[in-house]
Amino acid sequence: MKVQFSLKLFLAFLLFSLIFFVFTSFLTYKTFQTKVEQKNIENFLTKAELFQERLDDIISSNETLMYAISNAPSFKKINNKEILEEEIKILVESNDNIHSLKIIKNSGESILSLEKKDRKVYKTPLELSHLIHFYLNNEEIEKNRLFVTEPYLLKEKEEIKLPIETVVDLIYKVEEKTIFVSYKIDTLLESIKKIDYLIDKDLNIVYDKTGLNSWSKYYNPNLNIQDLIRGFSNRIFSDSFIVTNSHYLKQIFFNKEHFFTLVDDNERLTYKDFFLKYENSFYNVAFLMFIITFIMSMIFTTPLSNINKKLESEKNVLSDSIKRNSLMLNDSLALLDQHVMYIKLDTNFIILDTSSYLSRVTGFEKQELLGQKYSSLLTKNSAKHFEEHIINILNSIGTWNGELQGIKKIAGDYWVKSNIQPDFNEFGELIGYTDIRNDISDNKRIEKLYNELNYQIEQLNTIFQNANSGIALIDFDGNFRRFNEKFFNLFKYTENEIVEKKIFDLVDSGSLDLLKKIIEEVKEYGSILNIELVFICKNQEELYLDVSLNLLPDRKNIVMVANSLEDKRKLQELNHNLESRVAQEVKKNIEKDRIHQEEQIKNAKLTSIGTLAAGITHEINTPLTYLKGNFEMLTMDIEDLEDKTARDNMLESCEKIEEAINRIAVTVESMREISQSSSEARERVNIFATLFTSLTMAYNVSKQISKIYLNNKEFTPTTIDKNDFEIFAKVQKQRIEQVWIIIINNALDELKNMQDYEQRELRVDVYQQEDEVIVKFSDNAGGINEAIIDKIFDPFVSSKTHSGMGVGLNIAKKIINDQEGEILAYNSEIGAVFEVKLKLQE
């Protein structure tokens, strides 16, 4: 037993040592690799700095040369060309790197052109190439500042000169002249022999360490540099130096537009190279670790063996504890089943198990729920939310908690706080979900009551703040507890100013005692209404207010409602000036009184006629009922006759008699409705039925004048029923019927003027539009005179020449306004349209 444990311990130590050895060797490799890479970067940057320094020296020395030439006295005087030529020849001969020098006017006229061959300087004729023209007109070249072009190879007779000579053009503008110097940079390129590539901004290789791709734009113009250097770009680096997995890149600028890119290999040290370099050391360390592992396993065998025995003993004790806890867990699960709502689901959200408590809450037995969808326990809205949203959340996140509305077996529903968690097997695979529920129905009811209470408070606050009257809450000492904006605006105070005052500070001294007395009476009687008091505004002006005070139920505070009497005072002042206008209005008022008396007489007559009609309809209904009953019996007797010809003739006559009886019944019913005592209270009325009644009353006249269509169906009292269409508004029924009769009669009066009866037409349409009932009367009588259409509802305005006082439409408008509706008049292409809008009553 001990030997077996020692072997296990030795293998464990050996495995640990192997892992430690691999880990430490890898860390050592990474550290060594970082140091090597850092050293390579430093070497590369040193080469780049040397190249930059030499390039800067060239630019600096030539800038000094250009400055010296441009400031020579002979340069400034064109007449001294011979002196200028001699001076510049000396400068060109003294500098081995200068290949040629040209001085040209900006207009293109040559001043001097020199070229060096075999260390001797010759004067040559100037050839204005397209590049010289380009640089002469290039606005980017600043005056008195050296500009350096990209490098290129010298050519002779359009062939590259051998041996190869690399030059750049140095351009220096002063006043109206420009100096061009072709400068050799072969010595500059020799300073980067140990760098892989030198590349210009146009992705052309200027220098290649292997020599295969140097001056690619001349020898290999189709070369794609990204085939040699993966991911290379001519963009300007933000740091001008970057490191990639394969190369180092450094940009060297010699002006704003032109730059070189130095490229060198990023020679990374591989783990294999590192291992081969230190192979013997690796073997020695591995052997040493093996010996240490063996010794440590021997040392720790005995104590660890004792610990192992102790652990075995503790394992047995723990096993017994687990069994006891398992029994306690079963008891706990039983308690959960009795007192917690939970549901077990599979991956398709099919119910696998439920708790007994869930069954008691919902009324469903467990067997009824097993195999059902989870959504079957939810209301329609919650089930839709679960299937469209919650399932997607569970599939993506795995868990969800929130509120759902469940259903009970016997009518009713309830709210739960649901927490759905995923279930996994021992392999970590999803096998289903568990839903733990908490009944929050009481909380939802409380929340609903709380929201309703808040809504009512918000309503009261809105009414309080937007009331047209000034409202303030004061105590018995006159301190303000609360007030609306209208109140402190009455006194021309700000909110902060008036809150520091008492109501007694605002009242006029003459009204102070009266106000105090009123407050005492309010304490006793509960309210005092419409008392006129004088107050003082902020600007010390008197303010006349109509004040009402009411005691609140707490009997500690008073509500004061104040309305300005300014309009009343202005009216009193105006009354003093009315005498001069009375004489002018007397004649007009007498005429109006006469018309009003005529209308009263007419209304009295109509009232009497209505009373008489009510009595007549009552008296007609009794014999009419008797007549209809006996006529039905007579019809049945005729149907029993054996003589077919006589029977058919008599039945045909009976149909005409029956139609006449029905028309009498409809007319009598309409007369009864329209003659009923009018109640000023508005009620829910079918507008279609009121139109039927009005059209029935006008039918005896209208059938002689024009065809009438009600909702596109030709109207007769017997072919249309008043309940064929239902659309309701809250109106006073007899008043609305009076409006319809006024509009119908006006339309019939206009239609009489048309010669052809068949062409006459009056259409009445009633329909719903959003939250309004629209009634539209349209005729084809030619329309309303445009001169009076805007005043058609004013009193005494009429288009009739033979009858009428012009008050009918004014009465109709007033009735519609009283019903909180709107009446409009306008012309269509063929006639007049009167449109009435009433509020829809569901």
pLDDT digit string, tens, across residues 24-76: 777 877 787 778 778 888 888 888 888 888 888 888 888 888 877 877 776 76
pLDDT of residue 835: 94
Pairing of strands 707-710, 761-769: parallel
- Out of 179-193, 441-455, 488-502, 637-651, which region has the weakest mean confidence (pLDDT)? 637-651
* Lowest mean per-residue pLDDT among 185-189, 336-340, 595-599: 595-599
pLDDT of 790 over the 50 cut: yes
Structure tokens at 529: 């209404």
Task: For residues 671 and 683, state if they share a domain.
Answer: no
Query: Is residue 818's pLDDT more than 50?
Result: yes
The confidence score (pLDDT) of residue 677 equals 45
Q: Which positions ≥6 away from 839 have C-beta within 8 Å?
A: 729, 730, 771, 772, 773, 820, 821
* Average pLDDT, integer, range 528-551: 87
Say yes or no: 664 and 695 in one domain: no
Q: Domain range for residue 698?
A: 679-839
Asked if residue 647 and residue 747 are part of one domain, the reply reads no
In a domain, 17, yes or no: no
Task: Return d(Cα 148, Cα 230) in angstroms, integer.
Answer: 29
Q: Average pLDDT, stretch 771-788?
A: 91
Does 800 share its domain with 721?
A: yes
Distances (CA, A) of 601 to 597, 607, 737, 809: 6, 10, 20, 19
Number of domains into which the chain is organized = 4
Tell me the pLDDT tens digit for each residue of 607-620.
545 555 555 655 56
Q: What is the CATH number of the domain that holds 728?
A: 3.30.565.10
Higher pLDDT, 210 or 608: 210
Reduced to 3 DSSP states, what percent helix, strand and coil does the chain have, rounded to the nearest 5? 50, 25, 25
533 and 614 share one domain = no
Query: What percent of the chain clears pLDDT 90, i.e. is strictly above it?
Result: 7
Least confident of 333-337, 503-507, 626-630, 798-802: 798-802
Phi, psi of 201, rounded to the nearest 5 degrees: -70, -15
Which alpha helices (H) appear in 340-379, and where do they start and end?
Answer: 356-362, 366-369
Q: Report the 3 state secondary structure along 126-176.
A: CCCCHHHHHHHCCCCCCECCCEECCCEECEECCEECCCCCEEEEEEEEECC
Domain end, chosen from 677, 708, 732, is at 677
Residue 166: the pLDDT is: 86
Instruction: Report yes or no on 186 lying in a domain.
Output: no
pLDDT, tens digit (0-9, with 9 covering 90-100), for 436-450: 888 888 888 888 888
- The CATH number assigned to the domain holding 443 equals 3.30.450.20
Residues 715 and 781 in one domain: yes
Cβ neighbour number for residue 808 with a 10 Å cutoff: 20
Q: What's the pTM value of the predicted model, to 2 decimals? A: 0.34
* 278 falls within a domain: no
CA distances for 430 relative to 147, 342, 374, 420, 425, angstroms = 72, 18, 17, 13, 7
273-302, pLDDT tens digit by residue?
A: 776 766 777 777 777 777 777 777 666 666
Tokens for 62, please give them: 């030539």
> Is residue 510 in a domain?
yes
Q: Is 381 exposed, middle or buried (0-12, 13-18, 19+ CB in 10 A)?
A: exposed
Residue 547 lies in a domain: yes
Q: Note whether residue 67 is domain-resident.
A: no
Average pLDDT estimate for 752-770: 89
Number of H helices, E strands in the chain: 25, 32
| Residue 456 counted as domain residue | no
Both 595 and 739 in one domain: the answer is no
Same domain, 660 and 741: no
Final residue in a domain of this structure, among 643, 677, 711? 677
**In contact, 52 and 198? CB cutoff 8 Å:** no
**Domain with 591 in it: what CATH number?**
1.10.287
> Which has the minimum average pLDDT: 186-195, 389-398, 504-513, 622-631?
622-631
> Angle, nearest 10°, between helix axes 279-339 and 2-70?
110
Per-range mean pLDDT, top range of 124-138, 293-307, 451-465, 824-838:
824-838
- Per residue in 106-116, pLDDT tens? 777 888 888 88
- pLDDT tens digits for range 394-428: 888 888 988 898 888 877 788 988 899 898 988 88
Domain assignment of residue 71, yes or no: no
Backbone angles phi, psi at 145, to 5 degrees: -140, 130
Residue 575 reports pLDDT greater than 80? no
Residues 534 and 653 in one domain: no
- 790 and 723 in a single domain? The answer is yes
Task: Please check whether residues 710 and 834 belong to one and the same domain.
Answer: yes
Q: What is the pLDDT of residues 668-710, one digit of tens each?
A: 655 555 555 445 678 999 999 998 888 887 887 788 888 899 9
Whether a cis peptide bond, with omega within 30° of 0, leads into 221 is no
So what's the pLDDT on residue 821? 93
552 shares its domain with 612: no
- Domain end, chosen from 653, 677, 701, is at 677
